[in-house]
Amino acid sequence: MINKLVQNMAEAMAGIADGSVVLLGGFGNIGQPHALLDALIEQGAKDLTVVSNNAGVGRTGLARLLDLGRVRKIVCSYPRTADPVVFEELYRAGRIELEIVPQGTMAERIRAAGAGIPAFFTATAVGTKLAAGKEERDIRGRKYLLEEALPGDVALVEAWEADRWGNLTYRSSARNFNPIMATAAQLTIVQSQHIVELGALDPEKIMTPGVYVNRVVHVPYGEPMVP
């Protein structure tokens, strides 16, 4: 019997090694797997590279992971959210490495990693300072940059519903980066609001087939109170 449901956070986070590349779902506060982030803080892995659209808000969740000095490098498109105080402090002190990636290029690099595509060309960022060091090629009269896939060791994902195979649905705009990050890591760990019986999810509505998922933990926290 395939059963990816795990009963506690220690089981969910087991085996995450120091130096891991962690893909983190979410856009702002929506769709971000906060319970898994807290569990990662508890688990203790350090020297991490975190791939996330934003660099944490306030002093909890991702910001706390940064604050504890556990993140060596962050790859993101928009480190300046409403209250990026921890990130700004670390960055100014030279204690964290930052790779700024245009949001769509970041999404496609992750998608490519999950789909077995090592690199692709995009017109995004041509002629800008983010093109530095990248191969530029003229294809049918337009300039493009070569961008490499961005795979992770671990993906932390928030879903709306899950079954024991790890099939997932998402809620409204909380879908965002979650489905692509689920495809792009060696170990995909999911927190889900609801756990349902195998067969209860409409195959037409499943966004992430369970083959991409390794572990699912039930976290019925209700609604995100901050956007």
Partner 1 sequence: MNAAMNALESCKPLTRNEMAAQLARDIPEGWCVNLGIGAPLKVADYVPEEREVIFHSENGILGMGPAPAPDKINRWLINAGKQYVTMRPGGSYSHHADSFGLIRGGHLDLCVLGAFQVAENGDIANWSISDNDSAPAVGGAMDLAAGARRLWVIMEHTTKSGDSRLVRRCSYPLTAIGAVKRVYTNLAVLDVTGDGFAVRDMAPGLTFEGLQQATDAPLRMATQ
Q: 165 vs 177, which CB is nearer to partner 1?
A: 177
Report how far residue 154's alpha carbon sits from residue 18's, in angstroms, rounded to the nearest whole number.
Answer: 11
The nearest distance, CB 14 to partner 1, in angstroms, is: 28
Is 58 buried (19+), middle (13-18) or exposed (0-12) by CB count in 10 A?
middle
- Closest to partner 1 by CB, 20 or 176: 176
Q: Any idea which residue has 């009963």 for tokens?
A: 7
**Comparison of 28 and 58: residue with beta carbon closer to partner 1:** 28
Contacting residues toward partner 1, per CB under 8 A: 27-31, 53, 77-82, 84, 87-88, 91-92, 98, 100-105, 107-108, 110-111, 122-130, 170-180, 207, 223-225, 227
Min CB(146)–partner 1 separation in Å: 15
Nearer to partner 1, 9 or 169 (CB): 169
Closest distance between partner 1 and the C-beta of residue 209, in Å?
14
Residue by residue, DSSP assigns 137-172 as: EEETTEEEEEEE---EEEEEEEEEEE-TT--EE--G
Collect all residues with Cβ–Cβ distance below 8 Å to 140 and sequence separation of at least 6: none
Cα–Cα–Cα angle for 177, 74, 5, nearest 5°? Answer: 45
Question: Smallest gap, in angstroms, from Cβ of residue 39 to partner 1?
Answer: 22
